[in-house]
């Protein structure tokens, strides 16, 4: 009894000292062998993974025997131990030589010199077999009951050792997981008071274990959540044993952060709650990248305004609310005037700087509930929520336009002025859906542009009809070039003194199958806007040059051909080369060609125009300023351009001799041209009186109905050559 007690103490000490299982089982075996000389002990342990029996300790048995037994599969009839492990029963084999369980092992038993084997299984608390405790003897024999009781005690001690060593290993693994987990873990009792935390908890919250032990986990509360939030959380834990969600907490350093938190109830063997475990992940990074993505998807990076996507969804919302409350709302479509010119002449970085400065200025003046966003390019949209009266939308439009009156300072130090045209549509009058309202505002914006820019217009049904017509016209215009529906008419230019024919102006006509002969005023502005003027203008130049070349070759007088150019053509980077190519291809001598520009085209392009006109002049052709007097060019400015001719606008000729003002202007232009050594042509001369006046003033040449309307080429040749 005493030695049994000593053995127990030794085993427990060994367990506390973290002895390995092999050492513990060896100790148990040797102690029993000492108590009972003449026996040899073998402890086999059942492997958790493959279920086979492996030698845990057998200090007095030869190695060859242990090796042969290693890996024994528990099964009835498979030796004493295989049988006892499989059945959970004690197996007594009195004489190995005669016992069928030993058939497979008889020979090695013989070699090891053993004749009897008694095997007692040991189990864990749930009754699962953990291994076998076997006694071998050299002579056939059976144990007494006292012997069996003693062996049973040692078997139980072996079972205890196996269980404890395994549980320790598992605990160490768990502790490693707990400590090394990237998730913060906190364990509390039911109070709840913190009983333990892991390293990640400290990393996330900034609190050390000693600072939180015994405290309520609510020490992390940020104050961002309502008491209701926590009530719902605890209710869920009480009812389901579990809660999961996102929660704002506060770190030790005061910083508030979002975390994902899972709280679970730990229960004892009877299902009674004993602890809570909280597992938390810091999701501030995740939240930040979510927010960044959200911003990228919904805000324009340049101006930081809502982008098209967000604008559309805001408008959708505003309309839903307006419908529910029977309220009005308005959409303002804002398009900058001549932004392209700024972008082209000052460069895109300047354009970008202007857009963001402008966005800041406009944003600052709107009500909180109104939305300003950027649709793209130089187009902005303003959504006015809770509009009391339609006039309010007009007031906002006026405010916006006035805000732009102050120039913008660019980072380069330059100052630029920019205007805007604004179209307004109203919910519910002008449309009930997002698409309808934006389209209506867009149409109204175009109207504002047409009516002089830097102004606003409300949408009307009439506007829609006009917009539709424009669209239809554009479609037909696109087909016109391919279908050869364009023709050129020619109008003679005559020298005032000698009455001789000195040239002609080529004027474009559209022979439309639907509308007959369409005058250029009705389609050229649209062609300019859509860019169609580029191919059309090139067609005009090539055809007119070819026509004059044909006439000259056929022996016509030496004429100069005037061709009108549009601003858009002049903005093409390679247009000078294009003119040169056409002259080359048609074979027309360059000094027979005169290009007509308007003042505004020159003003718009500024100093750049001077350089380009100079290059053009090197081709040896002539340059004329059309519609002169209607623009704002100063004399000093004009002097810098390499031009040959001024063309007095028809409006100053029309009211001669009724309007003395016009007569003075016409006379002044002629005098000025002389001073600048430019020739002057008057256009729109319809009466002899007008011609006489111009002649007296010294005007060099004229064109007008008095001599001829513009006429087709064939007719021109018949009448004048
Ligand atoms: P514009 O260059 O000022 O052309 C003169 C216009 O005055 C022509 O109108 C001509 O028919 C008209 N006209 C000539 N004499 C008289 C007259 O005695 N009395 C009156 N009432 N009118 C007269 P049209 O042909 O309708 O052309 C209108 C405008 O269209 C032109 O004005 C020009 O700016 C533009 N345009 C015409 N052809 C072309 C072209 O090939 N390219 C470009 N870019 N523009 C063109
Ligand atoms: Ca002209
Ligand atoms: Ca003109």
DSSP letters, 248-296, are EEE-TTS-EEEEEEEEEEEE-TTS-EEEEEEEEEE-HHHHHHHHHHHHH
Distance of CA 593 from the midpoint of ligand 1 (Å): 17
pLDDT for res 424: 94
Q: How confident is the model at residue 317 (pLDDT cuts 50, 70, 90)?
A: very high
Q: How confident is the model at residue 294 (pLDDT cuts 50, 70, 90)?
A: confident
H/E/C letters for each residue in 676-702? CCCEEEEECCCCHHHHHHHHHHCCCEE
The predicted-structure confidence for 184-220, as pLDDT tens digits, reads as follows: 999 999 999 999 999 999 999 999 999 999 999 999 9
Distance of CA 567 from the midpoint of ligand 1 (Å): 16
Stretch 307-320: mean pLDDT: 93
Contact by Cβ (8 Å): 643, 678: yes
Distance of CA 18 from the midpoint of ligand 1 (Å): 108
pLDDT for res 319: 95
Non-local CB neighbours of 701 within 8 Å, separated by 6+ positions: 493, 494, 495, 496, 502, 503, 679, 680, 681, 682
When comparing pLDDT for 363 and 601, which is higher? Answer: 363
The predicted-structure confidence for 135-183, as pLDDT tens digits, reads as follows: 999 999 999 999 999 999 999 999 999 999 999 999 999 999 999 999 9
Q: How confident is the model at residue 633 (pLDDT cuts 50, 70, 90)?
A: low
Nearest ligand to the CA of 649 is 3
683 lines ligand 1 (CB under 6 A): yes
pLDDT for res 343: 82
686 lines ligand 1 (CB under 6 A): yes
Ligand 1 pocket test: pick from 537, 564, 701 the residue with the most ligand atoms within 8 Å of its Cβ.
564
The predicted-structure confidence for 697-709, as pLDDT tens digits, reads as follows: 999 999 999 999 9
When comparing pLDDT for 56 and 460, which is higher? Answer: 56
Tokens linked to 322: 């307006």
Residue with tokens 């679970």: 264
Q: Check whether 578 has a pLDDT greater than 80.
A: yes
Distance CA 714, CA 291 (A): 71
Ligand 1 pocket test: pick from 520, 525, 536 the residue with the most ligand atoms within 8 Å of its Cβ.
520
When comparing pLDDT for 411 and 584, which is higher? Answer: 584
pLDDT for res 287: 86
Contact by Cβ (8 Å): 391, 334: no
pLDDT for res 315: 95
Q: Check whether 238 has a pLDDT greater than 80.
A: yes
When comparing pLDDT for 585 and 390, which is higher? Answer: 585
Q: Check whether 255 has a pLDDT greater than 90.
A: yes
524 lines ligand 1 (CB under 6 A): yes
Q: How confident is the model at residue 341 (pLDDT cuts 50, 70, 90)?
A: confident
3-state secondary structure of 721: coil
Neighbours of 130 (CB within 10 A): 22
Q: What is the residue with the minimal CA distance to atom 27 of ligand 1?
A: 520
Instruction: Point out the ligand 1 atom lying closest to the alpha carbon of residue 524.
Output: 45
Residue with tokens 């139980």: 156
- Please state whether beta strands 116-123 and 242-250 pair in parallel, antiparallel, or not at all (unpaired): unpaired
Stretch 595-611: mean pLDDT: 80
Q: What percent of the chain has pLDDT over 90?
A: 75
Nearest ligand to the CA of 629 is 3
Q: Check whether 512 has a pLDDT greater than 80.
A: yes
626 lines ligand 1 (CB under 6 A): yes
Distance of CA 627 from the midpoint of ligand 3 (Å): 4
Closest CA to 393 of 418, 366, 364: 366
Q: How confident is the model at residue 595 (pLDDT cuts 50, 70, 90)?
A: very high
The packing angle between helices 660-675 and 688-697, to 10°, is 40
Nearest ligand to the CA of 505 is 2
Q: How confident is the model at residue 31 (pLDDT cuts 50, 70, 90)?
A: very high
Contact by Cβ (8 Å): 704, 483: no
Closest CA to 570 of 616, 522, 639: 616
- Please tell me the least confidently modeled range out of 279-288, 354-363, 430-439, 453-462: 453-462
537 lines ligand 1 (CB under 6 A): yes
491 lines ligand 1 (CB under 6 A): yes
B/e letters for 409-435, b = 16+ CB within 10 Å, e = fewer, are ebeeeeebebebbbbbbbbebbbeebe
Ligand 1 pocket test: pick from 480, 491, 506, 507 the residue with the most ligand atoms within 8 Å of its Cβ.
507
Q: Check whether 635 has a pLDDT greater than 70.
A: no
711 lines ligand 1 (CB under 6 A): no
Stretch 74-97: mean pLDDT: 96
Distance of CA 654 from the midpoint of ligand 1 (Å): 14
Q: What is the residue with the minimal CA distance to atom 30 of ligand 1?
A: 520
566 lines ligand 1 (CB under 6 A): yes
The predicted-structure confidence for 95-105, as pLDDT tens digits, reads as follows: 999 999 999 99
The predicted-structure confidence for 671-705, as pLDDT tens digits, reads as follows: 989 888 999 999 999 999 999 999 999 999 999 99
- Please tell me the least confidently modeled range out of 344-353, 477-486, 711-720: 344-353
The predicted-structure confidence for 239-251, as pLDDT tens digits, reads as follows: 999 999 999 999 9
Q: Check whether 597 has a pLDDT greater than 80.
A: yes
DSSP letters, 38-58, are T-EEEEEEE-TTT--EEEEE-
Q: How confident is the model at residue 620 (pLDDT cuts 50, 70, 90)?
A: very high
Stretch 359-363: mean pLDDT: 91
Q: Check whether 28 has a pLDDT greater than 90.
A: yes
Tell me the pLDDT of the chain averaged across its residues.
Answer: 92
Stretch 108-127: mean pLDDT: 94
Instruction: Point out the ligand 1 atom lying closest to the alpha carbon of residue 598.
Output: 34
């Amino acid at each position: 009894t005493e030695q049994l007690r000593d053995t127990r103490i030794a085993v427990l000490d060994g367990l506390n000292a973290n002895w390995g299982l092999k050492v513990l089982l060896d100790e148990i075996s040797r102690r029993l062998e000492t108590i009972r000389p003449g026996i040899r002990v073998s402890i086999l342990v059942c492997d958790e993974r493959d279920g086979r029996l492996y030698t845990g300790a057998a200090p007095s048995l030869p190695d060859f025997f242990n090796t042969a037994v290693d890996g024994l599969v528990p099964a009835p009839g498979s030796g004493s131990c295989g049988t006892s492990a499989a059945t959970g029963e004690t197996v007594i084999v009195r004489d190995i030589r005669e016992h069928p369980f030993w058939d497979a092992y008889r020979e090695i038993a013989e070699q090891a010199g053993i004749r009897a084997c008694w095997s007692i299984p040991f189990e864990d608390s749930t009754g699962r077999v953990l291994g076998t405790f076997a006694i071998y003897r050299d002579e056939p024999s059976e144990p007494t009951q006292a012997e069996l009781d003693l062996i049973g005690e040692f078997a139980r001690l072996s079972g205890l050792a196996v269980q404890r060593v395994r549980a320790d290993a598992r605990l160490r693994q768990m502790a490693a997981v707990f400590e090394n987990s990237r998730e913060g873990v906190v364990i509390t009792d039911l109070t709840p008071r913190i009983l333990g935390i892991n390293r990640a908890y400290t990393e996330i919250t900034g609190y050390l274990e000693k600072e939180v032990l015994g405290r309520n986990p609510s020490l992390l509360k940020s104050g961002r959540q309502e008491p209701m939030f926590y009530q719902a959380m605890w209710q869920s834990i009480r009812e389901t044993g579990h809660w999961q969600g996102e929660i704002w907490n506060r770190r030790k350093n005061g910083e508030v952060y979002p975390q994902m938190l899972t709280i679970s109830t730990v229960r004892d063997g009877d299902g009674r709650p004993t602890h809570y475990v909280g597992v938390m992940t810091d999701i501030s990074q995740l939240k930040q990248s979510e927010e960044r993505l959200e911003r990228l998807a919904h805000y324009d990076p340049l101006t930081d305004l809502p982008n098209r996507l967000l604008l559309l969804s805001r408008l959708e919302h505003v309309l839903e609310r307006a419908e529910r409350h029977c309220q009005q709302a308005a959409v303002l479509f804002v398009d900058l005037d001549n932004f392209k010119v700024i972008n082209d002449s000052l460069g895109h970085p300047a354009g970008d700087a202007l857009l963001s400065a402008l966005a800041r200025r406009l944003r600052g003046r709107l009500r909180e509930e109104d939305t300003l966003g950027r649709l793209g390019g130089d187009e902005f949209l303003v959504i006015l929520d809770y509009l009391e009266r339609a006039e309010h939308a007009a007031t906002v439009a006026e405010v916006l336009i006035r805000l732009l009156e102050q120039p913008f300072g660019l980072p380069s130090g330059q100052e630029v002025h920019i205007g805007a045209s604004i179209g307004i549509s109203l919910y519910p009058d002008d449309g009930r859906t997002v698409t309808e309202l934006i389209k209506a505002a867009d149409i109204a914006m175009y109207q504002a542009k047409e009516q002089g820019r830097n102004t606003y217009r409300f949408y009307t049904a009439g506007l829609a009809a006009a917009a539709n017509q424009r669209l239809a016209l554009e479609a037909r215009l696109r087909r016109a070039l391919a279908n050869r529906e364009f023709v050129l008419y020619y109008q003679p230019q005559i020298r005032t003194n000698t009455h001789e024919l000195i040239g002609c102006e080529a004027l474009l006509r559209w022979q439309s199958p639907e509308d007959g002969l369409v005058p250029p005023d009705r389609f050229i502005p649209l062609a300019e806007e859509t860019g169609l003027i580029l191919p059309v203008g090139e067609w005009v130049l090539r055809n007119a040059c070819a026509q004059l070349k044909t006439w000259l070759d056929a022996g016509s007088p030496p004429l100069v051909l005037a061709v009108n150019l549009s601003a858009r053509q002049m903005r093409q980077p390679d247009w000078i080369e294009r003119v040169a190519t056409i002259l080359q291809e048609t074979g027309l001598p360059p000094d027979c060609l005169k290009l007509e520009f308007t003042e505004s085209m020159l003003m718009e392009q500024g100093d750049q125009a001077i350089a380009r006109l100079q290059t053009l002049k090197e081709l040896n052709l002539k340059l004329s300023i059309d519609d002169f007097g209607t623009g704002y060019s100063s004399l000093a400015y004009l002097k810098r351009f390499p031009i040959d001719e001024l063309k007095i606008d028809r409006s100053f000729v029309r009211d001669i001799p009724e309007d003395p003002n016009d007569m003075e202007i016409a006379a002044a232009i002629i005098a000025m041209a002389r001073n600048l050594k430019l020739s002057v042509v008057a256009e729109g001369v319809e009466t002899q009186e007008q011609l006489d006046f111009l002649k007296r003033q010294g005007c060099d040449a004229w064109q007008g109905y008095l001599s001829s309307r513009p006429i087709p080429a064939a007719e021109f040749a018949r009448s004048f050559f």
